[in-house]
Structure 1
Amino acid sequence: MDKMKKKYFQLKSKIKLYIKINWIKTIYINFKMLSLDQAKKLPIIVFGKCSFKNLEGKIVLEGESFFGRIGIGQKYQIFEKEKGISEFRIAGELRFQGRAQFGTDCRVFVGENAIFTLGDMASIGGDSSLICTQKISLGRFCRMGSETFITDSNFHAMKNTATGEIHPKSFEICLGNYNFIATRVTIMGKTKTPDFCTVASCSLINKNFSEFGENILIGGVPAKLLKQNLKRDWEGEKQSLEHYLKIQ
């Protein structure tokens, strides 16, 4: 009887999942951007409304291709109601080194010749925006809260009126492994964080924090070192985190 109940609930869960999938957009993004061998396994799953405005670039999947490896519009946070404004523009290269999640209402722009790389189990929370014009990389288990804004560009060139020097607009962003970015954080060019770095809510990050080593808490506007020898309990959460976010 217990086995029958288990199978029943597994089947019920799978039916609910399949109903939530946007099958038209899922099939489109896979067969548009991936090789036939990869695409037929549907590694990229799209939930809800999502607009693909420009797919002239490429998506690179490193390693094994399997169903549900990448979730777009995935409802894995507390608030699940979506506004229906997810938008992806990929003119450059979007590279996945493992599994990844994009929450509801995410907006992602990867410009021409730009490279955006996500490590295994990296994620971008709901209602977040990412603009990559040069190079942005997220480490393994680099997880961002909702309403994050990350951009490697200042968008408009600035000029030194005394020397006539034109300052560059774009600077690389590199976030380490096992980073936890809280809600409403702004991440700008030149940002570099070490492994096991935690960023407090409503912070602005725009410089290199790797000199402080691992297990640090940073925060503020602009961000500064707040505490050392502090990290999220990844070991205690890892098993439940992987299970909860898995598309199966």
Structure 2
Amino acid sequence: MNTDKLVKLIRYIAAIPKSLYVNLRLLPFDQAIKLPIIVSNRTKLISLNGKVKLDKVKTGLVRIGFTGADMIDYRYSRAMLQIDGEFTVKGKVKIGKGTRLIVAGDLDLGANFIATGDNTIICEKQMSIGSDCMFAWESVVMDTDQHAIFDQSGDQINTEDRVAIGNNVWLGARSFVLKNSVIADGCIVAANTTVTRSIAEKDVIIAGAPSKKIKEGVHWQH
């Protein structure tokens, strides 16, 4: 066994106690004992008062805090996990080192999802992410502004609104997808792009702040 594989094995063994606790808090006992959710022992657990729904139950189906971009140092990057809403998982998921996953609303996550590392995903109301999606490092997806803004009458003017991301969508590094955003299947969101609206056309590259289409008829793969 080479050094990289040995280090990886040690990290997974060290993750067993915290992973068992997470599974027992979020899943029925007969599912929890199979450890479908594996969290790095470096993961900070904020709150686990919600529930996770799995389309299938398999050991290591959801992995949090292990993989990631090479420039993210495992020793110093801590994933953060808060599940107070309902988190539905439809297949294999890898959430990388240093990623912050905050679910207070309803988050629906498709199969073969990868968040490469230092990502932020905040679901306060409703968020859906399709299958075969990849979020590059330091990308941010959130359906809330985090702080309320009121007009002179005292009415809040920035309530949470849904985010819907289709299948096979790639978010580039340091991109932002904010509330009220809808992104169609096959789209590529370029690095440093801010999305705040509906992108209805499939298989396009969008870039800029505010975002706009810069190329159509594109395809990408993991």
Query: TM-score under structure 2 normalisation?
Result: 0.90
Show the counterpart of 1:209: 199
> Which residue number corresponds to residue 137 of structure 1?
128
2:88 counterpart of 1:95? yes
1:59 aligned partner, one-letter code: V
Alpha-carbon deviation of 1:74? 2.1
Q: Residue 219 of structure 2 corresponds to which residue in structure 1?
A: 231
Which residue is equivalent to 1:149? 140
- How many percent of aligned residue pairs carry the same amino acid? 25
Matched residue SS, 2:214 = strand
- CA positional deviation for 1:54: 0.6
Of 187, 191, 196, 2:181 maps to 191
Matched to 1:196, the amino acid is G
Q: Which residue of 2 aligns with 1:70?
A: 62
Q: Partners of 1:50 and 1:90 in 2: how far apart?
A: 13
Deviations 1:164-219 (A, max 9, x none): 75424211000000001110011100110111000100110100011xx2110001
Structure 2 CA distance for aligned equivalents of residues 66 and 155 of structure 1: 34
SS in 2 for 1:136: strand
Corresponding letter in the other structure for 2:171? I
Change (3 A) 1:175 1:46: same
What is the CA distance between 1:137 and its match in structure 2?
Answer: 1.0
When structure 1 is superposed on structure 2, of 200-209 and 23-32 the one drifting more is 23-32
2:163 partner letter: I
Change (3 A) 1:51 1:166: closer
Structure 1 residue ranges, 4+ long, deviating more than 3 angstroms after superposition: 11-17, 156-161, 163-166
Aligned-residue CA RMSD (Å): 2.0
**Equivalent position SS for 2:183:** coil
- 8 Å contact from structure 2 (residues 25, 49) kept in 1: no
Structure label with greater radius of gyration: 1
SS at match of 1:158: coil
What SS does the corresponding residue of 1:104 show, helix, strand or coil? coil
For normalisation by structure 1, the TM-score amounts to 0.81
Letter of the structure 2 residue corresponding to residue 194 of structure 1: A
1:156/1:169 contact within 8 Å kept: no
Q: Classify the secondary structure of the residue corresponding to 2:67.
A: coil
Distance between the aligned counterparts of 1:32 and 1:165, measured in 2? 37
Partner of 1:243: none
Which of 86, 98, 107 lines up with 1:105 in the alignment? 98
Report how many aligned residue pairs link the two structures. Answer: 219
Q: Which runs of 5+ in 2 are unaligned?
A: none
More helix by share: 1
